């Protein structure tokens, strides 16, 4: 899940799109090259256990963002939060008022190659 400040995105659309692209490219890298990413985590001192980093990278389905429908996913989690009383707005209101799929659609097309 990724969210952004509406005003910032409106004022800095190029930067917002670059952030989204970087996050999705990183997810793809974790899915396609987990050994290299695990080594980078160790080299960057995020962890000292290469084996655990590699295991985590292999177990987390980083490539699933390409398969899941983002609107369905948002609706599902918004419904759970609404049912639990964590949010007052309905899932449909959140999707219609807050969700903007333009950047995701553009970047997804770019990264298909």
Mean pLDDT (whole number) for 19-39: 95
- Distances in Å between the Cα of 85 and the Cα atoms of 1, 49, 80, 92, 105 are 20, 39, 9, 16, 31
Mean pLDDT of 65-89: 93
For residue 111, the model assigns a pLDDT of 87
Tell whether the model's pLDDT for residue 1 goes beyond 80. Answer: no
pLDDT score for 66: 84
- Decide: residue 53, CB within 10 A, 0-12 exposed, 13-18 middle, 19+ buried: buried
- What contacts 24+ positions apart, CB below 8 Å, involve 17-22? 17/103, 17/106, 17/107, 20/103, 20/104, 20/107, 21/107, 21/110, 21/111
pTM for the model: 0.79
Identify the burial level of 87 via C-beta atoms within 10 angstroms of its C-beta, where 0-12 means exposed, 13-18 middle and 19 or more buried.
middle
- What is the band of 113 on the pLDDT scale with cuts at 50, 70, 90? low
């Amino acid at each position: 899940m990724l969210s952004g400040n509406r005003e910032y995105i409106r004022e800095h659309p190029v930067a917002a799109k670059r952030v989204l692209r970087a996050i999705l490219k990183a997810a793809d890298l974790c899915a396609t090259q987990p050994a290299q990413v695990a080594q980078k985590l160790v080299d960057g001192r995020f962890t000292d256990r290469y084996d655990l980093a590699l295991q985590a990278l292999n177990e987390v389905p980083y490539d699933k963002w390409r398969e899941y429908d983002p609107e369905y996913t948002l609706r599902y989690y918004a419904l759970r939060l609404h049912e639990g009383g964590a949010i007052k707005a309905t899932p449909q209101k959140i999707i219609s008022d807050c969700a903007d799929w333009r950047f995701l659609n553009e970047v997804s097309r770019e990264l298909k190659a």
